[in-house]
Structures are given as C-alpha cells and as structure tokens.
Amino acid sequence: MLYFAEFFFFFFYFKMIIFNYSYFFSWTMMNSSFSVTFPLYFDFISCMFMSMVLLISGSIIFYSYFYMDSEIYKTRFFFLMLLFVVSMIFLILCPNFFCMLLGWDGLGLISYCLVIYYQNFKSFSSGMITALTNRVGDVFILASIAMFFSMGSWSYMNYVFSLNLTWLSIFFLIASLTKSAQIPFSAWLPAAMAAPTPVSSLVHSSTLVTAGVYIMIRFNYFLSENLKFFLLFISLLTMVMSGISGVFEYDLKKIIALSTLSQLGFMMTSISLNLSNLAFFHLVTHASFKALLFMCAGMFIHNFFDNQDIRFFGLMNKNFSFSLSMFNVANLSLCGFPFLSGFFSKDLILELFLLKKVNTLFFVLIFLGTFLTVFYTFRLIYFLSLKNPFYYPLEISNKKLGIEYSMGFLFLFSIFLGFFGSLFFFFPYNYVVLPITLKVLVLVLCFFSIFFCIIFSSSLFCFNSKISLFLGQMWFLYFLKTDFLKFPFFNFSFKVSKSLNGFSELFFGFYLYKYLFFISSVSNKYLKSLFSFFFFMFLYFFFVFIFMNL
C-alpha cells in the first residue's frame, strides 16, 4: 500500500515539475460566523518528499517484519510506525499552522512512545529528553499560532509579501532548531538511539529530524538577513561538533546518528545561504542512503547478538558481502564520493558556498566539517571491512535474505537518485565556474582526510582525558541528558512519591473509595426512582395522545 502511494505521488511530482503548477484543496468543515477549514497543498516539493517518505516507510516496515519477528508487542510497534508516517504526512501537506501542529505534535508524542519501546531505565531517560526537547519546539509553534489570531488567517501562504513577521520568524527558527537537533538542542538525537533500529532508520532519514529542515525550506522567505547569519553560525558549529564527536565514538548507531546531525547542519547552512532548493535536493538524497545505513547497521547488530561496538567488527566481507557492499555504498554516498547520490547535492552546495561572500571563520568551519565527514566515514569502512575482528559470537539467520530484499529500492536510489535529480530538475546550478585551486580544494581535502583517518584508526593515540571527554561528549551537551535532567525531574519526583506514599494511600485510597461508594449508592437509588417517574410519565402522555386522536 505504501509503495503504491509512493508511485502515485512520484507521478504527480513529475507532472507538476514539468507543467509547473500545483493544487490547493480546502475542506470546509464548518461555515457559520467563522469558517473552519482543513487545507491541503500539493506542489512539487510536497509530492517529492511525500513519495520519498512513503518509499522509505514501506521499505522499513517490510524490513521490520523480519527484524522484529521475535518481539512480543510487534503489533503495537507497527501501529506506532504507521501513526508516525501519518503525522509526517500532516506536516508535509498542510499549509495551515493549526493543521500542521497535528503532525508536528504527533511526531513528538509518537517518537516518545517508540524510544521507550524496550521499557528499561535507559530507554525511559532517553525518551524523556527527546520528549522535553521537542516540547520546546511545540511551545514556539503554539506561540506563533497565537500570534496569527490578530492577522486573520492561519495559512502561511497568505503572508508571503508581509514584512512584519520578525517575531514569527524567530519562533519558527527556534522550533526548527529543536526538531532538527541543532546546538544547543543536540543532546536528544544520540539519546534517541535507544529505540529499535527500524525506528532510528525512519526517524533519521525522512520523518522526525527532517521536519525542522522541511519547515525552514517552506518558511525561508520569513527569515531576515540577521537571522540567516545566526542560522549559518549555529549550523556550522553543529556540523563541526557532531563530526568531532563521531571521530571519538565507537557505538555504530551513534556514529550514524552523529552523521545525521552533521548533514542536518549542512542542510541548514544551505538554507541560510538562500539555497533552499538545493537543501531540499540534499534532504531527499540523504533520506535514501541514511535509511539504508541504519538498516544495514541493524542487520549487523542483530547478527552479532546486539553488539554495537565497532571494535568487535572486522573483515565482514567474509559473511556479509552483499550487505557490507550496500553499507559501503551508502557510507560513501554520505561523504560525497564522486558520482553517487550524495555527491551531486553536496559538491554543488560546497561550490556555491565558495561563490558567496562569507568570512574566513565560516569558510574554515564548513571545510572542517567536510573533512570530519570523510574522516568518520572511512573510519567506519576501516573498522568494518579492513581490520581483523575480535573474537565474538556470530549468528547467520534465515531472516538475512528477507532483510536484504527490503533494502533493494534504497540501494538503487543511493546510487542513481542524485544523478537523475540533478539532470532533470536542478540543471541551472550544474555549471559552476571557479578557479582551479578552489575547484580541486574539496578533492584534496578528502584525500588528506582519508590519509589521516588510516593513520588515526590503525595507531593508538593517547589523548588527555579531559580533552577527549570534551570532544567525544558533544562539547558536554550530554550534561543536559544525564545530570541536569536527572536531578530536578527524576530524583525530585521519586523522593516526593516516596514521602507521600502512606499519606496518599490513606486519604486518596481508603477515604476516596468510601466517598465514591456513598455517592454511587445514593445516585443509584435516585436514578432508579427517576427512571420509574419518567417511564410512567411517558406511558401517561402516550395513552393521552392515542385517546385524543381517537
């Protein structure tokens, strides 16, 4: 069903991009003193993103059929996944702030339910930081809806040429920063890795974390030049911070999560440079290979008895040749390897960045982030493919073949999507004239990154513990996840519940039960008598009516 809907939206996307038109539907549910409408907007952006979301969702649900086969509550899991996709559909198709809130808030609520799926203390703490951080963005969306009461409409399509939207643009910028986990709201993204791997694949490719980028693509004309400068600085810092943390990380899922954070910062950088269409292009290509990365990583973890430490992996081409090939293709596409999907969007954004008027600090930050992206990408390839493994138990199951079938579409998209996208839809940007030194700068930077990655991965470096702790813990942003959140919320509520335990049982247990029992017994007697009274009155008027008609 999801694959069929994906082809349907993909057909409409071709039709709209060729003939350059869009559809706007408005369903009026109430039209009295004021009208209540439910609008839907279909253009090439919404149809393309919808088709990508449905393609990835169908592949992941097919993947989950094998991956979650031994789980007890897998029916609940599939319903939550479908609700997650429906919330994203509301967010994509609704051009109305109030209707869009259904999808925005639904993503936050269902993500909490999915993160705590395994129901242990780590999952609960990770779910709490995810829910509370996303609530910050929900508050700012609600504040922007309240501002629109004085403007006559909740549809953002009516305010394209308005100039008095400074506070509204600030609210939407903060909301998108929280949803896309930019600094200082980055702690929840690696924490959400406590969810099952299919959830991580869906969240990091096309649903939860991409919602903030999608909103910024839609509302980029709201942002002033000062806000774009602020967004550029924040996104570049996020890109560098996540890249450094990925270099020091050994958890396979967290490395891929930090790569998502780096790519989100790269998309926000593109939006701040007025390249929102290229940010959307990179968002679509990134969705295909990021979902494939998580699905391959989940299969490796599943077959290594839930081990996620990459130091135990190695020479996986002996037992996982096809899966490792798909993983390496997606990984190379992530770092912008030539002629894969990520290259056509990423290299184009970097070259157009060189044409912009930016200062030296931003120039150093974006190329440092690119250097680190190539670094942790080839570090993963080295640990999984080239080095000798530690001895660890391995399970080769019959589910492996079905899991590999579910990745077929995404594997093809990771190779060909960028080429066809740039060929048909983004051709005005395909010819960027630069001096030869700037043209080969990215290529030389990548070669240096690969060289230092091999030296760093194959040798034992001793760092100062404080420096490595600062660099590996996302510049101490994990403090928000552990100490800060644990003390005021968890410990305080636990102590209050323990101190009021006997009091609450006495007054809210025994006495409340006696009071409710008394109320129910009295109301039961009166209701019986009242029912008898109304029954006899009905019979009386019924016979009087019949007698009068006779």
Summarised one tens digit per residue, pLDDT across range 493-528 is: 555 555 555 555 555 555 666 666 666 666 666 655
Ramachandran sector of residue 76 (left: φ over 0; alpha: ψ -120 to 50; beta: rest): alpha
Q: What does the pLDDT read at residue 495?
A: 59
Residue 116: phi, psi to the nearest 5?
-90, 20
pTM of the model: 0.82
pLDDT of residue 360: 86
Task: Answer yes or no: is pLDDT of 232 > 80.
Answer: yes
With 60 as the cut, is the pLDDT of residue 283 above it? yes
pLDDT (0 to 100) of residue 397: 59
For the cut 50, the answer to whether the pLDDT of residue 399 exceeds it is: yes
**For residues 527 and 197, which has the higher predicted lDDT (pLDDT)?**
197
The answer on pLDDT for 47 being more than 60 is yes
Which pLDDT band holds residue 159 (cuts at 50, 70, 90)? low
Q: Among 184-188, 200-204, 233-237, 387-391, which is the least confidently predicted range?
A: 387-391
pLDDT level of residue 276 (50, 70, 90 thresholds): confident
364 vs 44: CA distance, rounded Å: 35
Q: What is the pLDDT of residues 49-69, one digit of tens each?
A: 888 888 888 888 888 888 887
203, amino acid identity: V
| pLDDT: which is higher, 421 or 319 | 421
Structure tokens at 253: 């899922």
Alpha helix positions (H), 148-221: 166-179, 188-191, 197-205, 208-218
Give the residue, 238 or 541, on which the prediction is more confident. Answer: 238
Q: Where are the alpha helices (DSSP H) in 94-120?
A: 97-115
Mean pLDDT of 415-432: 74
* Amino acid at site 226: N
Could you report the per-residue pLDDT of 374-384, keeping only the tens digit for each? 888 888 888 88
Return the amino acid letter for 327: F
Distances (CA, A) of 443 to 312, 378, 446, 448: 32, 15, 5, 9
Q: How far is CA 528 from the centre of its chain?
A: 56
Instruction: Work out the average pLDDT over 145-165.
Output: 68
Average pLDDT over the chain, rounded to whole? 78
Q: Cis omega (within 30 of 0) on the bond before 393?
A: no
Q: Which of 218-222, 413-417, 486-490 ranks highest by mean pLDDT?
A: 413-417
Q: Determine the Cα angle at 320 with ends 316 and 326, to 5°.
A: 100
Does the structure show a pLDDT above 60 at 154? Answer: yes
Domain boundaries, the chain: 1-483
Averaged pLDDT for residues 166-179: 84
**224: three-class secondary structure by DSSP:** coil
Compute the distance between CA of residue 385 and CA of residue 395 in angstroms, rounded to an integer: 18
- Percent helix, strand, coil in the chain, to 5, is 75, 5, 20
What is the C-alpha to C-alpha distance for residues 199 and 403, in angstroms, rounded to an integer? 15
**Closest-CA residue to 232 (of 264, 266, 272):** 272
Structure token digits, residue 508: 């809210």
CA angle 212, 8, 405 (to 5 degrees): 80
Which residue shows structure tokens 């991965």?
457
Instruction: Give the largest CA-CA distance in the chain.
Output: 107
Q: Summarize the confidence of residues 112-130 as an average pLDDT.
A: 83
Say which DSSP state 96 is in: B
Confidence bin at 487 (pLDDT 50/70/90)? very low
